[in-house]
Structure 1
Amino acid sequence: MNCGLEFHDSRVASVYSLGDVVTISFKAAYLHLSDGVPGSDRGTGWTQAGSLEFGSASLPGTPDIGDGWIVAGALRVDGGDELRLVPVPFNIVGSIQAT
């Protein structure tokens, strides 16, 4: 089975940094599970708590997001295409930009 995290319809609890680690903490991360391509092929979807951690990272300013739903979001790895559905588990080394 293949799993992916979709930012759209996920609920963020907080975004914070501790040292050089930036964490996006999800109150309800929207996940897709499929035998094929998550989010495209038939499968199941649900929400659960979780987080994304970025090492050697920094935040531009202090995000004041509060507790809220994401309506659009993506990751870009090494300047490539935007990932709107992130594979789970996600363990990538490179320059990652989250929007």
Structure 2
Amino acid sequence: MQNKHCAVEFHDSWVEAIDRTDEAVVLRLEVYLHVSDGRPGQDPGTGWMQQATLTIGSGSIASAPLAANMRISDGSIQVGEEYFGNLAPVPFKHSGAVTLRFEGAEGLLLVKGQGATLTLHGEPRFVEETHWH
């Protein structure tokens, strides 16, 4: 995926676990990645699944879903003045006030904090060719 543009689509991604530490809220995710020579999620490319962690510094959980394992049907993250609705670029590392909102059948996950970093782990698994226009 070198020299390609990449973005996480929250819809079709999964929250696998929610961990709290003294310094952060850490979400263990399986994310759906759009990879493209152009604009991920808009131009043709490929779709992949990959393990990831999303760390929100000084995080607090304002609303928790009924189960920590949830499929995300809709999601967004706002960091400072930047709003990412359902699609976040990779790499993703931002400072500033954070509001993360993931919705799924299991309920709402709402996390607030300071700064957010998405880290990909392991090898991505190919899912499909994507054909947006």
Identity of aligned residues (%): 37
- For residue 12 of structure 2, give the secondary structure of its aligned residue in structure 1: strand
Structure with greater proportional strand content: 2
Q: Residues 15 and 63 of structure 1 are in contact (CA less than 8 Å); yes or no, is this contact kept in structure 2?
A: no
Equivalent residue number for residue 45 of structure 1:
47
Equivalent residue number for residue 33 of structure 1:
35
Query: 2-side partners of 1:78 and 1:95: how far apart?
Result: 5
Larger radius of gyration: 2
Equivalent residue number for residue 19 of structure 2:
16
Counterpart amino acid of residue 87 in structure 1: P
Tell me: CA distance 1:82–1:90, structure 2 relative to 1, closer, same or farther (3 Å).
closer
Pairing partner for 1:5 from 8, 24, 27: 8
Q: Which runs of 4+ in 1 moved over 2 A?
A: 60-66, 79-83
- Please report the TM-score for the alignment, with normalisation by the length of structure 1: 0.87
CA RMSD of aligned residues (A): 1.7
CA drift of 1:60 comes to 2.2
Counterpart amino acid of residue 22 in structure 2: G
